[in-house]
């Protein structure tokens, strides 16, 4: 698969919950994550992905998300080169919120994007 051929998915087509078989990898910075994220998402900031790639489940269905879709596209390209089959979330967390999907903070309160 070429870098430009990363599959894309609209938020409306994503699962509502994530478990061991489905990973939503959030590659935003720690301050963005703390303001609000998807419950059950895995957080590895873009710059940490190479060092932490072994933390990503190779057997799970993998979706990559960021704020608007650009950083997650770059991470998805990197993951493809390393044997993963990721799908980029079109529009990122902005689309997630626009679709009315919930966002939380680490303490379980309602988050913001």
Catalytic positions, written as ranges: 66
Q: Are 89 and 12 in contact (CB under 8 A)?
A: no
Q: Are 18 and 38 in contact (CB under 8 A)?
A: yes
Give me the torsion for CA of 16, 62, 112, 27, rounded to 10°.
180
Which token pair is 97? 């919120």
3-class state of residue 42 by DSSP: strand
């Amino acid at each position: 698969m070429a870098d430009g051929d990363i599959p894309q998915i609209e938020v409306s087509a994503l699962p509502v919950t994530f478990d061991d078989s489905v990973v939503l990898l959030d590659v935003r910075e720690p301050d963005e994550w703390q303001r609000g994220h998807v419950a059950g998402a895995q957080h590895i900031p873009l710059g940490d992905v190479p060092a932490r790639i072994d933390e990503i489940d190779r057997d799970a269905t993998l979706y990559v998300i960021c704020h608007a879709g650009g950083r997650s596209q770059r991470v998805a390209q990197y993951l493809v080169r390393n044997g993963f089959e990721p799908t980029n979330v079109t529009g990122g967390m902005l689309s997630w919120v626009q679709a009315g999907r919930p966002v939380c903070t680490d303490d379980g309160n309602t988050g913001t994007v």
